[in-house]
Amino acid sequence: MKKKIAIFNGLYLPHLGGVETYTFNLATELVNQGHEVIIVTTNLDNLEDYIKDKISVFRLPVYNLFKNRYPILKKNKKFRLLMSKLQDEKFDYILCNTRYYSTSRLAAKFAKKNHLPIICIDHSSGHLSVNNKILDFFGAIYEHFITFFLKKKITDFYGVSKRTNEWIKHFKIEAIGVFYNSIDKKEYLEYKNKKNKMDFGNKTVLCYAGRIIKEKGLFNLLDAFSILEKEYDNIVLVIAGDGSCLKELKEKYKSNNIYYLGKVGHDEVMKLFNISDIFIHPSMYPEGLPTVILEAGLMKNAVLATNRGGTKEVINKKTGIIIEENIESIVKNVKILLNDNKIMERYKENIHKEVIKNFTWDINAKKVIEAFERKVKDEK
């Protein structure tokens, strides 16, 4: 039976991030399965509300302060107008992503006011960090504070990985289950014959895609590559994404073997993965389950990743390499792949099979609807 679902997100596309991509893919699959979806998010760049791919997007006004990391809702006339429009929609289910965004509080209030079932999906595996001990300390206090009040209005929590569910026990939350971050398996057939416009000949392509912020471990990656390119003359590194550290990286690491793509769309990222050999995810961020690991694995990249979030639920001894959060570990493990093509090819094939088997959106979207149906049944 067709359902109308509102998904509340702190951030959404074109802002690039794991939660944003997760939401887009989940919403797309829900629509494919016959449901109606409206995304309720924040307006970072004065964008217009729109309907695209049968998904409606409502963008709420925010203050300029911290808007790219933690947008604060600006409850002005436009806010009230948009909320009035939402009130006129006849929703069946409310879903919010992440505990700590103001949009999750808004979702909880909206659901309670309209007597609607609500589920919260958490995407973290640790306290948020901006690499500042003082700000991180107060940020952790705030996270506990907001979670305490959110638990009063939301009882059903899920994680994007088992690691996430273990983490939120820290807030005395017992998650009901896991809605894994996933991929659309049809994208392999769509992109396997498409190439990024760059041509590196027979060189081995290393890559990273995602937000360009310090917590993602990019400085470790670039330092490691600076060491590797002195020993190997047939490698290049491609960095796709935008963020606060991009300018600094460009200025500090200048090499004919390093390519900075800046902000690119999903299509270009998938084309990049199709021509790359090794994907490196050196994150030091409290991840949930990084989408890019699944996408790179789908496109048959050998994956090296730090043990953040649910990464170990995808990467094991057969499917890739877990690296430590330092330069030496990146160098050591990239060398293993560069020195033995058979090992690299085995990882490429094994992670592709693992992603196809266990991490697809068609399965995940059905699980979300089933969870709402159980909730409604239990509350009767």
Cα 297 to Cα 270, 288, 294, 320: the distances in Å are 11, 17, 5, 9
Place of tokens 């790219």: 68
Each residue's pLDDT tens digit, 290-301: 989 999 999 999
pLDDT band of 44, cuts 50, 70, 90: confident
305: three-class secondary structure by DSSP? strand
Q: Is 236 left (phi over 0), alpha (psi -120 to 50) or beta?
A: beta
304 forms bridges with which residues in the sheet? 280, 321
Each residue's pLDDT tens digit, 208-221: 999 999 999 999 99
Report the C-alpha gap between 283 and 263 in whole angstroms: 19
Nearest Cα to 116, choosing from 146, 169, 153? 153
For residue 291, the model assigns a pLDDT of 87
Res 129 pLDDT > 80: no
Two tokens at 134?
């003082």
Which pairs from 309-313 meet CB under 8 Å and 24+ separation? Answer: 309/124, 309/125, 309/160, 309/161, 309/163, 309/164, 310/125, 310/160, 310/161, 310/162, 310/163, 310/164, 310/180, 310/181, 311/163, 311/281, 311/287, 312/163, 313/161, 313/162, 313/163, 313/180, 313/289
CA angle 72, 73, 78 (to 5 degrees): 150
Cα 146 to Cα 53, 56, 176, 247: the distances in Å are 33, 28, 20, 34
For residue 67, the model assigns a pLDDT of 67
Report the C-alpha gap between 108 and 147 in whole angstroms: 12
Each residue's pLDDT tens digit, 142-157: 999 999 999 999 999 9
Is residue 129 a contact partner of residue 70, using CB atoms and an 8 Å limit?
A: no
Report the C-alpha gap between 245 and 264 in whole angstroms: 16
Res 69 pLDDT > 80: no
Give the mean model confidence (pLDDT) for residues 37-42: 96
Res 125 pLDDT > 80: yes
Res 348 pLDDT > 80: yes
Q: What is the mean pLDDT of the chain?
A: 93
Give the mean model confidence (pLDDT) for residues 45-69: 82
Two tokens at 311?
């990464």
Name which of 67-71, 131-135, 309-313 the model is least confident about.
67-71
Of the chain, the percentage scoring pLDDT greater than 90 comes to: 81
For residue 272, the model assigns a pLDDT of 96
375: three-class secondary structure by DSSP? helix
For residue 228, the model assigns a pLDDT of 98
Give the mean model confidence (pLDDT) for residues 20-25: 91
Domains and CATH numbers, the chain: 4-182+360-379 (3.40.50.2000), 186-358 (3.40.50.2000)
